[in-house]
């Protein structure tokens, strides 16, 4: 029987997401390295993080009150859904930002025209802002429409083009993931770290279920190659949730052939600050411009990336 049932911790078991390694060994950052990174952050970073958390939690609360909302329209195809709640949640986040930091910029999914090229161009324009909030107000809209409890609010923030903090709120489980550069990742205020699987054979891996046809075919190729080589695969329908679960050790890794910046910015810093690794499928370190990606617990990264390259997941 599993040590965890309905979120209740059983005596003698480790907290959910714990790997049993020492904090320093798992974190991937020494105390000296964390101190060095912390002093490079703008003074207002902690205040920004507090406001981002409040904004994300308020938007998530509104989302929970509207679960199962009807589809207002589709975007690039019938798999890419929009409800009236998506822009409502984005507006809640924007109000928090404008109230506390009126000089900050925002890049939101619901105010960006659909399509890969539009997304890339909008990001390039937005990165001219000194501070930029990159927002997905409901990550996992299809799950939300079908009342499946697997959606989240995702906000990543850049400073002078560099990702410095991220927040993901999963209202179904009352979980707030937060990270700031050099300070680790927390879940509801408690430090979390990635899992300690050492090989691909031990790995529990998640993949996306993309809306674009070329990305969908790439995922099918990747699944065909990877599934026989790993412990098991999952497709949860929310990039934000899967990032959070990699960061706290519930998943070993998560990959996608093509993601928008608002799908990945918050999750990327959660994973790296929890001691994991995130790169594109060629092995280049993640930036907010990265679209094909693999996020992992570090140890399994290269074996899993090799499988994705064999499947030509990177060739869209």
Is 138 marked as binding a ligand? yes
Q: In this structure, are strands 232-234 and 190-192 parallel, antiparallel, or unpaired?
A: unpaired
Is 109 marked as binding a ligand? yes
Is 103 marked as binding a ligand? no
Distance CA 195, CA 204 (A): 10
CA nearest neighbour of 308 among 278, 270, 274, 282: 282
Q: How many CA atoms lie within 13 A of 123 on its CB side?
A: 27
Burial 36-58 (b: 16+ CB within 10 A, else e): ebeeebeeebeebbebbbebbbb
Is 214 marked as binding a ligand? no
C-alpha distances in angstroms, 132 versus 30, 89, 101, 102, 247?
28, 18, 11, 11, 23
Is 263 marked as binding a ligand? yes
CA nearest neighbour of 105 among 83, 88, 82, 122: 122
- In the annotated binding site, the residues are 109, 136, 138-139, 263
- In the annotated binding site for Mg(2+), the residues are 109, 136, 138-139, 263
């Amino acid at each position: 029987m599993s040590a965890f049932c309905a979120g209740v911790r059983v005596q003698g078991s480790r907290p959910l997401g714990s790997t049993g390694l020492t904090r320093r060994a798992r974190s991937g950052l020494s105390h000296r390295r964390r101190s060095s990174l912390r002093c490079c952050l703008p003074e207002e970073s902690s205040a920004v993080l507090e406001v981002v958390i409040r904004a994300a939690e308020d938007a998530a609360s509104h989302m929970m009150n509207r679960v199962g909302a009807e589809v207002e329209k589709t975007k690039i195809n019938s798999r890419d859904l929009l409800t009236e709640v998506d822009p409502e949640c984005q507006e809640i986040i924007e109000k928090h930002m404008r109230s506390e930091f009126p000089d900050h910029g925002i890049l939101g999914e619901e105010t960006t025209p659909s399509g890969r090229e539009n997304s890339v161009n909008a990001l390039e324009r937005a990165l001219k802002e000194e501070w930029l909030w990159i927002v997905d107000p409901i990550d996992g809209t299809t799950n939300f429409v079908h009342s499946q409890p697997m959606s989240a609010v995702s906000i990543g923030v850049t400073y002078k083009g560099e990702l410095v903090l991220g927040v993901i709120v999963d209202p179904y489980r009352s979980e707030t993931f937060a990270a700031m550069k050099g300070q680790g990742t927390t879940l509801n205020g408690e430090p979390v770290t990635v899992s300690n699987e050492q090989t691909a054979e031990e790995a529990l891996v998640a993949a996306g279920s993309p809306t674009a046809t070329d990305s969908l075919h790439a995922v099918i190729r990747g699944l065909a190659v990877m599934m026989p080589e790993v412990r098991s695969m999952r497709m949860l329908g929310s990039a934000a949730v899967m990032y959070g679960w990699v960061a706290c050790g519930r998943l070993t890794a998560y990959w996608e052939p093509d993601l928008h910046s608002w799908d990945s910015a918050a999750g990327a810093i959660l994973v790296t600050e929890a001691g994991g690794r995130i790169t594109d499928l060629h092995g280049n370190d993640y930036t907010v411009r990265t679209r094909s990606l693999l996020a992992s617990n570090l140890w399994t990264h290269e074996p899993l990336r090799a499988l994705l390259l064999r499947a030509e997941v990177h060739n869209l």
